[in-house]
Copies of this chain bind each other. A is one copy, B any other.
Amino acid sequence: MSAQQPNSRQHYHVGNLAEQLLSSARSMLEEVGVAKLSMRALCSALGVTATAAYHHFTNRAELLAQLATQGYLELAEELNEKAVALPVEEKIRGFCLIYLNFGRRNPALYQLMFGPELEFEQMPEHLLNARQQAFSRLELMVADLLKQTPDSPDVRSAALASWSYIHGLTSLLLHEVLQRPKDISDQRIIERTLTGFELLFNAYAANINPA
C-alpha cells in the first residue's frame, strides 16, 4: 500500500525519516486537524517507534513550525506565479482569490500558519523568513498599484490593510464562522466584500461632507 521503498533492513536507519515524517504530517494534518496530529501516530504510521521522530525534531512544536514554513513558502510561490500575470484591474481581486484558494485547499495548514498553535518564546528564523517572503508578495503588488516603492509608508499601510482583510475573510470562512451560501462562489464573495468597502468609504465621505 505504502509507496515508500521496501525498507530492506526492518529497523534502524530508515534513511530519510525526517522527510517522510514531514510529508506524512502534511497529509495527516489535513485529515485529523492540527490539534489531533500526534507524534506517536505519525511515527507508527511510518512503521517506526514512537520516539524515533525526536532524533530529527526536538519538539512537536518544531515539526509544526517546519510545516508552517512549508505553507508560507508555497503560498508565496503561488502568489508569485499566478498573481503577476493578472491585468491591473483584476490584480486585487485575483490576488485575494488566489490567497483564499490556498486556504481552501489547505485549511488545517492555514490554521496552523496563522493560529495559536505556533507558540515559541522566539519564533524560528526559517518561519519568520518564509512568512516575510509571503507578505512581500503582497507588498510588491500594492507597490505596483500605488506606483510607489515597496518600503514607503503608504505601501506598508495599504498592504497591511489588504492582508488584514483577506486573512480575516479566509479565517472566517475556514473556521465556518460564516456559513457561506452554497450557491455563491468564493470569487463572488470577494467581489461583494470589495464593493462593500467602496460603499462604506463613499458613505463615510458623504457623511463627512454632506454636500
Contacts and interface: CB of A to CB of B under 8 A. Distances in A.
Nearest to A209: B89
Interface stretch (A11-19, A49-57, A77-85, A155-163): A155-163
Nearest to A193: B161
A25 interface: no
B111 A196 contact: no
Contacts of A142: 200
Size range of the interface on A? 35 or more
Contacts of A194: 161
A31 interface: no
A159 B126 CA distance: 37
Interface string A85-126: 000110010000000000000001001001111110001000
Given A111-B115, A117-B35, A193 B164 contact: yes
Interface string A167-211: 111011001111000000000010011111111110110011000
A163 B178 CA distance: 10
A34 B196 contact: no
Interface of A: 33-35, 88-89, 92, 108, 111, 114-119, 123, 131, 142, 145-147, 153-154, 157-169, 171-172, 175-178, 189, 192-201, 203-204, 207-208
17 contacts: A88-B208, A89-B207, A92-B200, A114-B172, A147-B203, A157-B192, A157-B195, A160-B178, A161-B194, A161-B197, A161-B200, A163-B168, A164-B166, A164-B169, A166-B168, A167-B172, A197-B197
